[in-house]
Chain A
Amino acid sequence: MTLMPAVGLIPGVALISAAPMDWSPIRISLETSATATLITLVAGLAAAAWRERRTGPTAVIVDGIFLLPLVLPPTVVGFLLLLLFGRNGPLGQMLLRLGTTVVFSWSATVIAAAVISFPLMYLTARAALEQVDPRLLEAGQTLGASEWRSFRQIALPLAWPGILAGTILSFARALGEFGATLMIAGNIPGRTATIPIAIYFAVEANDVPRAAAWCAIDVVISLVLLAGLYSWSRALPAGRARWAGR
């Protein structure tokens, strides 16, 4: 990473930050969000597909657990993750025996972002899958298709616009994740310091130009990604336009 003085965007406060700029939060944020989104996409889809075929009390309880990260303050989620993955936590113990630990590492930023953004993916994927006419899946069955094939070839392409929306939401949420990340991953420059964390510590260190610069960068990244995803969704071959009778 090139080191250069950060240029503040708020005129009249301070134009040039004292310390040189460390660009690694951009890379960390993007890598974390992308990895977390990939995980939530797979996990959210699997959970939504599982939930779709179930009713009754178990399904409701599982629903509650799945949606908890959306309702709880991120710090609470982070604290719970810390209990789970910490040295004395059940998962932490297991990982320790495998000779590794995730707390305060890059993996921890991914875990925090994935857990926090999971409910958004799960909710939108479920809504999208529920929109698929069940008779289409039944038709698939009578034609000899396995459940997995019906899911892949019928449900998934038809629910795709909704799932894509869920992916965008999840990515955006992962990009903005702060509370849980701070709890479980901390602020290790070059390893766990994402853009939101860099902003927080810049403000705390009274480095307003640096905080402002990071804010501006965050806005630009978000806009570019949303625009990209939007145009990509419009160009999708299996998109709605293809079979809408145009």
Chain B
Amino acid sequence: MGGALAVALEVHIAKRLRDFTLDVSFTATGAPLGILGPSGAGKSMLLRSVAGLVRPDRGRIALNGRVLFESDRRVNVSARDRHIGMLFQHYALFPHLTVAQNVAFGLQDLPRPRRELRLAQALDRTHAAALSDRYPRQISGGEQQRAALARALSIEPQALLLDEPLAALDTHLRSQMETLLQETFAAFERPALVVSHNMEEAYRLAAQLLVLMRGRVVAFGPREEIFLRPPTLEVARLTGCKNFSRARPIAETTVEALDWECRLRTTRPLPAPIAHVGLRAHHIDFVEADGAGLNNENVFPCWLVRSSETPFRVTLYLRLHRAPREGEEPHLQAEVFKEKWERFRTCPLPWHVRLSPDSLFAMPE
């Protein structure tokens, strides 16, 4: 198998679904891979195909060199022989069995001493030992999650599949579970696919991301890459980007932002053809009205249309170039910390924003 970067899981599958075709190709190493996409993008179906719970129409799935599915050779290893641990979205714990019985369910073929050992190890790994004799209904959601994770790990799987592992938990439990999952992945060193529809969750759990939309892979790579330079408008939206403008290239590093009614310089050469430019809300800088920065490139006067506050941040909806008339929509959303906003909120309009050439990204379509 070699080092952590060796390819361990190979997936090339196509499956006709009701509204679209799931058509996915990727490889995963011994590190977690986040599978990000909106609801109904085919994420769960992808996971179920890898687990062997559904049969793809065609393609190939191999794990550590062992072929699990290959339509051409009519190979389809059953789910129970794949040795892939799965954490179901709502845990799917057996309600009539205790936590210990749940975790030991996959260990029944082992001789008793080894079974006991593996059970204890699995419960230990997820800090679920104290829950052994409880029934699933008697424990909290976070505890059920730990029990389900222990159960998936008990069979010492060759790969781990997690379907929305944090979605059903409240904020406090979520960060606890996140830590547990990070510990688990660090010790696991085998492929782990983590499905999520929440970009922050996916980002925190996996260094590699695969973005799935309507059954197709629209982005695949290191998470920083995908968040800094989303390849398409859809991916940009999914990764939480709020500001877009249709765009027309003028020169290698100059673009006309049609919706924002301005010309912008970019640091990176523009891809061709370019359809949109985008900028994240927290990348918009405010510059002092009397400072030297006013003459810099990509600096524009702006007027406040409206604002909305969260405990620590404020989102400012801005209109560029001219004071907004009745009914005019804002051009941009900027997100700033409250302390910073307190400093300039009383300054007379117009304020000045800088759309930093480093942060601007272009999206071909």
Rounded to whole angstroms, the CA-CA distance of A135 and B92 in the bound complex is 6
Per-residue CB contact flags for chain B residues 79-117 toward chain A (1 = under 8 Å, else 0) read 111111110101011111100000001101100000000
Interface secondary structure of A, over-half rule: helix
Q: Establish whether residues B96 and A139, one from each chain, have CB atoms under 8 Å apart when the complex forms.
A: no
Chain A contacts for B78, CB-based, 8 A: 141
Given contacts A139-B88, A141-B53, A158-B95, contact A244 B137 (CB under 8 A): yes
Chain A contacts for B135, CB-based, 8 A: 242-243, 245
Q: Establish whether residues A136 and B94, one from each chain, have CB atoms under 8 Å apart when the complex forms.
A: yes
Q: Establish whether residues A143 and B151, one from each chain, have CB atoms under 8 Å apart when the complex forms.
A: yes
Chain A contacts for B154, CB-based, 8 A: 143
Asked whether B155 is an interface residue with its Cβ less than 8 Å from the other chain, the reply is yes
**B contact residues vs A (CB 8 Å cutoff):** 51-53, 78-86, 88, 90, 92-97, 105-106, 108-109, 135-138, 151-152, 154-155
Q: Establish whether residues A243 and B86, one from each chain, have CB atoms under 8 Å apart when the complex forms.
A: no
Q: Establish whether residues B138 and A145, one from each chain, have CB atoms under 8 Å apart when the complex forms.
A: no
Rounded to whole angstroms, the CA-CA distance of A120 and B119 in the bound complex is 42
- Contact of A142 (CB < 8 Å), options: B53, B90, B96: B53
Give the nearest-CB partner of A133 in chain B: B92
8 additional contacts (CB under 8 A) given A139-B88, A139-B151: A135-B88, A138-B86, A139-B86, A139-B93, A142-B152, A143-B80, A143-B106, A149-B108
Q: Establish whether residues B95 and A142, one from each chain, have CB atoms under 8 Å apart when the complex forms.
A: no
9 contacts between A and B (CB under 8 A): A135-B88, A142-B52, A142-B80, A142-B82, A144-B81, A144-B83, A145-B105, A145-B108, A158-B95
Chain B contacts for A153, CB-based, 8 A: 105
Asked whether A238 is an interface residue with its Cβ less than 8 Å from the other chain, the reply is yes
Rounded to whole angstroms, the CA-CA distance of A133 and B90 in the bound complex is 11
- Contact of B95 (CB < 8 Å), options: A138, A141, A243: A243
Q: Establish whether residues A135 and B105, one from each chain, have CB atoms under 8 Å apart when the complex forms.
A: no
Chain A contacts for B93, CB-based, 8 A: 139
Given contacts A136-B92, A243-B96, contact A142 B84 (CB under 8 A): yes
Given contacts A144-B80, A145-B80, contact A139 B137 (CB under 8 A): no
Chain B contacts for A154, CB-based, 8 A: 94
Give the nearest-CB partner of A149 in chain B: B108
Rounded to whole angstroms, the CA-CA distance of A154 and B105 in the bound complex is 10
B92 to chain A, nearest CB (A): 4
B102 to chain A, nearest CB (A): 9
Rounded to whole angstroms, the CA-CA distance of A139 and B90 in the bound complex is 11
Chain A contacts for B82, CB-based, 8 A: 142
Q: Which of A141, A142, A245 gathers the greatest number of chain B CB atoms within 10 Å? A: A142
Given contacts A139-B88, A141-B79, contact A157 B96 (CB under 8 A): yes
Rounded to whole angstroms, the CA-CA distance of A158 and B78 in the bound complex is 24
A165 to chain B, nearest CB (A): 17
Chain A contacts for B80, CB-based, 8 A: 141-146
Rounded to whole angstroms, the CA-CA distance of A136 and B86 in the bound complex is 12
Q: Establish whether residues A245 and B105, one from each chain, have CB atoms under 8 Å apart when the complex forms.
A: no
Give the nearest-CB partner of B51 in chain A: A142
Tell me the A217-246 residues at the B interface (CB within 8 Å).
Answer: 238, 242-245
Asked whether A190 is an interface residue with its Cβ less than 8 Å from the other chain, the reply is no
Rounded to whole angstroms, the CA-CA distance of A143 and B109 in the bound complex is 11
